[in-house]
Amino acid sequence: DAEITQSPRHKITETGRQVTLACHQTWNHNNMFWYRQDLGHGLRLIHYSYGVQDTNKGEVSDGYSVSRSNTEDLPLTLESAASSQTSVYFCASSATGDNEQFFGPGTRLTVL
């Protein structure tokens, strides 16, 4: 069965370190998204991609970057982790022309 996975599921890191969160989907979807979820804010869009070599900034992109070298993967990098980036991160994907997004299980990141 097609799926979307994230790794690691839990991560503790220190302020200033570079961290990369992985997202892999086997749906063959062109659209991929990264969100962070914090209490009281719902899901906020960090970056999104409509296909290979395409990346776009979302509403809270500062301090984050993504790259899309193939259809299946959209890794999210925190260049220099800050305590304000402690959050739960969700990756999602959708097919071209489809509004239904499929979410991964999430990564809980703690920055100390």
Partner 1 sequence: GQSLEQPSEVTAVEGAIVQINCTYQTSGFYGLSWYQQHDGGAPTFLSYNALDGLEETGRFSSFLSRSDSYGYLLLQELQMKDSASYFCAGNTGGFKTIFGAGTRLFVKA
Residues in touch with partner 1 (CB under 8 A):
31, 33, 35, 40-45, 48, 50, 56, 58-59, 90, 92, 94, 98-106
- Closest to partner 1 by CB, 57 or 80: 57
CB of 91 to partner 1, least distance (A): 9
At residue 78, φ and ψ (nearest 5 deg) are: -100, 115
- Closest to partner 1 by CB, 57 or 73: 57
CB of 67 to partner 1, least distance (A): 19
DSSP at 39: T
Angle at CA of residue 84, ends 78 and 90, nearest 5°: 60
CB of 34 to partner 1, least distance (A): 12
Rounded alpha-carbon distances, angstroms, from residue 80 to 19, 34, 85, 111? 8, 18, 10, 10
